Amino acid sequence: MQNTGNRTTSGQNRARRHPENIDRTRRPVQHISRSAGNRSSAAPSRVVPAAPASGRQTARPQTGQRKAPRQSEYRFTAEPTPQRTTVRQGRPVVSNRTDAGRRPQIDPKELEKKRKKAAKEAAKERKKAAQTTAVTAYRERHMERVNKKEEAWQKDIVRVRGGVDKIMLGLILTLVCLGTIMVFSASYPSALNEGLDMHYYSKRQLAFVAVGLVVMFIASRVPYTWYKYWGVFVFYGIAIVLLCLVLVMGASEGEAKRWLYIGPISMQPSELMKVALVMIVAWYVDKFKPKIEDRLNTRHVISYNVIGPGVFIGVACILILLEKHLSGTIITGILGVAVMLVGGCHFGWTMLFMGAAGLTAGALFVAINPYALERLKTFADENADKQDELYQTTQGLYAIGSGGLFGVGLGHSRQKYSFVSAAHTDFIFSIWCEELGFLGAVFLVALFIAFVIRGYTIASRAPDTFSSLVAYGISTHVGLQALLNICVVTDIIPNTGVSLPFFSYGGSSLIVLLGEMGILLSISRQYYMKRKDLEEKQRADAWDFD
């Protein structure tokens, strides 16, 4: 018998020559040849007999018999191998091979692009790791130098808890006394013009001074740690509530709505917010100082250096700006930013974000409120009417100029008689210059400068970051407000209604200001001395006792 085990059927040959006639939807069936002479060939695929259509058993072909099975008798149990058509020597050839084991063909340009991208990413990672390592090493060296310097400094100084700073206390009392005298000198013409007792404003100012001194004494006896852990939240919370009440039930004076009347008591909550904001920003910087000093990640820097303290500043400034109190908003915002920068916040990002926010808020305020835009136009117009639009500023300049070098004498001012409006409040500096002259003005400016310098000295000697920043903020508050008031009176900046600390008539502003002085004096109780100076002082005290 012929060996027909490896023969191919004519149907398979036709499929190879004419692949376009193949029915792709039919399930392929493998024909099995059972030749006795070819049993050693490759084993055929496992097949399962199909049930006959008539239902009867089909006899199995005997060994050695060549019987080609019909297509309906056998079928594959596994999925068929997909066919692939290739072209060889100009004619298509059907092949049952797959591309699973073949290596995919990749465009060389695409491969080169991927290689360059991977190399670039690897270089970037190496550069980032090198920068991180360098910054970490620099920080460690810097901290090591700082710690060594701090240790050497700590060995040479001694922390001392004593009384309040005598120089600062003397400056505060001097300013309060001079301010009370000037309120009496500048206010009695206004009181007589209003049909009141000539001492009406001076008596009220003396009452405010008495209450303020009591508040200052109590605040100076409270340990500064209470302000750090409790007072900061109490003051800021009360200020927020009062500012919200002003928007609902506040009283207006002119265009601004800044006064709150509770029974016979009137107050400006914006004055309390100034010191409250200084304290809350100082607390934030003290609590998150390690994270503020971390400059590795830009997102981290912006989050902790700008957004964190910016929330407190933004809430305070928005509430004050809604009162149409532009000068209070400016002072509050500058104080908050100043404390941030001294506390170590990133200068560039802080000035960028805060400056942009301030300019945007100012532009919106001027656009919404026509009177503010008109005031700016009047200030910039050299031909503005001096008897109408610039009357108050012009009369203040007349008062300053008429004082000369030595002044006309205390109580002898002529401009306070219905010429200078608000002579005992915002424009009291012009009356001071008229009565005491140029030398008196220089003396007053020197007092404020001495106050600021002494306040910064107390801040430099403070025991921790919080107390140092609070002392710095309070000193900056007094100096900044005095500077803005002098600039307004001398027509350097537009008239925005800024009071002169310790001098302008007012109850809530003076009481809150003296309360700030009490906090500053409380911080001044904690100071340091060089060990050698302390030993000399102890020997001198012992010698005096003997």
Res. 441: pLDDT tops 90:
yes
220 touches 454 (CB < 8 A): no
Res. 38: pLDDT tops 50:
no
Distance CA 462, CA 397 (A): 41
Q: Which two three-digit tokens encode residue 524?
A: 């001044």
Q: Which of the given ranges, 86-90, 158-162, 174-178, 394-398, has the highest pLDDT on average?
A: 174-178
Q: Under DSSP, is residue 338 helix (H, G, I), strand (E, B) or coil?
A: helix
Higher per-residue pLDDT: 200 or 71: 200
Distance CA 277, CA 332 (A): 8
Q: Which residues contact 173 (CB under 8 A, 6 or more apart)?
A: none
Segment among 43-52, 318-327, 496-505, 534-543 with least mean pLDDT: 43-52
**The pLDDT of residue 42:** 45
Would you give the distance in Å from CA 201 to the centre of its chain?
43
Res. 545: pLDDT tops 70:
no
Distance CA 112, CA 81 (A): 35
123 closest CA partner among 115, 111, 113: 115
158 touches 528 (CB < 8 A): yes
Res. 61: pLDDT tops 60:
no
**The pLDDT of residue 315:** 94
Would you give the distance in Å from CA 114 to the centre of its chain?
41
Q: Under DSSP, is residue 387 helix (H, G, I), strand (E, B) or coil?
A: coil
**The pLDDT of residue 514:** 95
pLDDT tens digits, one per residue of 336-357: 999 999 998 989 999 999 999 9
329 touches 359 (CB < 8 A): no
Confidence of residue 53 (pLDDT cuts 50, 70, 90): very low
Q: Classify burial at 31, counting beta carbons within 10 Å of its beta carbon; exposed 0-12, middle 13-18, buried 19 or more.
A: middle
Would you give the distance in Å from CA 7 to the centre of its chain?
86
Res. 309: pLDDT tops 80:
yes
CB atoms within 10 A of CB 270: 28
Paired sense of beta strands 256-262 and 251-253, if any: antiparallel
259 touches 323 (CB < 8 A): no
515 closest CA partner among 225, 220, 316: 220
**The pLDDT of residue 80:** 52
- E strands present in 169-271: 251-253, 256-262, 265-267
Confidence of residue 18 (pLDDT cuts 50, 70, 90): low
Burial 312-321 (b: 16+ CB within 10 A, else e): bbbbbbebbb
Res. 523: pLDDT tops 80:
yes
**The pLDDT of residue 6:** 47
Confidence of residue 45 (pLDDT cuts 50, 70, 90): very low
Confidence of residue 16 (pLDDT cuts 50, 70, 90): low
**The pLDDT of residue 57:** 47
Res. 23: pLDDT tops 60:
no
Mean pLDDT over residues 48-55, rounded? 46
Distance CA 278, CA 469 (A): 8
1 closest CA partner among 73, 67, 60, 59: 67
**The pLDDT of residue 526:** 79
Higher per-residue pLDDT: 249 or 106: 249
Distance CA 152, CA 356 (A): 43
Mean pLDDT over residues 210-236, rounded? 92
Confidence of residue 114 (pLDDT cuts 50, 70, 90): confident
**The pLDDT of residue 375:** 83
Q: Which two three-digit tokens encode residue 532?
A: 């050698």
Confidence of residue 220 (pLDDT cuts 50, 70, 90): very high
Res. 204: pLDDT tops 80:
yes
Sequence-separated contacts (24+) of 370-379 with Cβ below 8 Å: 371/255, 372/326, 375/494, 375/495, 376/494, 378/494, 379/493, 379/494, 379/495
How many Cα atoms are found within 13 Å in the side-chain-facing hemisphere of 118?
Answer: 6
pLDDT more than 70, % of the chain: 77
Mean pLDDT over residues 165-194, rounded? 92
Q: Which residues contact 288 (CB under 8 A, 6 or more apart)?
A: 304, 308
Res. 26: pLDDT tops 90:
no
Distance CA 465, CA 244 (A): 31
**The pLDDT of residue 252:** 73
Paired sense of beta strands 526-530 and 157-161, if any: antiparallel
How far lies 256's CA from each of 129, 183, 328, in Å?
56, 24, 11
363 touches 369 (CB < 8 A): no
Mean pLDDT over residues 362-387, rounded? 82
DSSP-assigned states of every residue in 97-124: --STTSPPP--HHHHHHHHHHHHHHHHH
**The pLDDT of residue 10:** 53
**The pLDDT of residue 5:** 45
Averaged pLDDT of the chain: 80
Higher per-residue pLDDT: 38 or 327: 327
**The pLDDT of residue 13:** 56
DSSP-assigned states of every residue in 279-312: HHHHHHHHHTHHHHS--S-HHHHHIIIIIHHHHH
**The pLDDT of residue 438:** 94
**The pLDDT of residue 392:** 83
pLDDT tens digits, one per residue of 268-289: 889 999 999 999 999 999 999 8
Q: Which two three-digit tokens encode residue 465?
A: 């970051």
Segment among 21-25, 51-55, 428-432 with least mean pLDDT: 51-55
Distance CA 405, CA 416 (A): 19
CB atoms within 10 A of CB 466: 25
Mean pLDDT over residues 300-312, rounded? 91
Mean pLDDT over residues 528-546, rounded? 68
Res. 546: pLDDT tops 80:
no
Mean pLDDT over residues 435-439, rounded? 93
- Amino acid 298 reads T
**The pLDDT of residue 17:** 56
**The pLDDT of residue 311:** 94
- Amino acid 56 reads R
Confidence of residue 47 (pLDDT cuts 50, 70, 90): very low
**The pLDDT of residue 73:** 45
Q: Which residues contact 43 (CB under 8 A, 6 or more apart)?
A: none
Would residue 84 be called left, alpha or beta, if left means φ above 0 and alpha means ψ between -120 and 50 degrees?
beta
Distance CA 292, CA 345 (A): 6
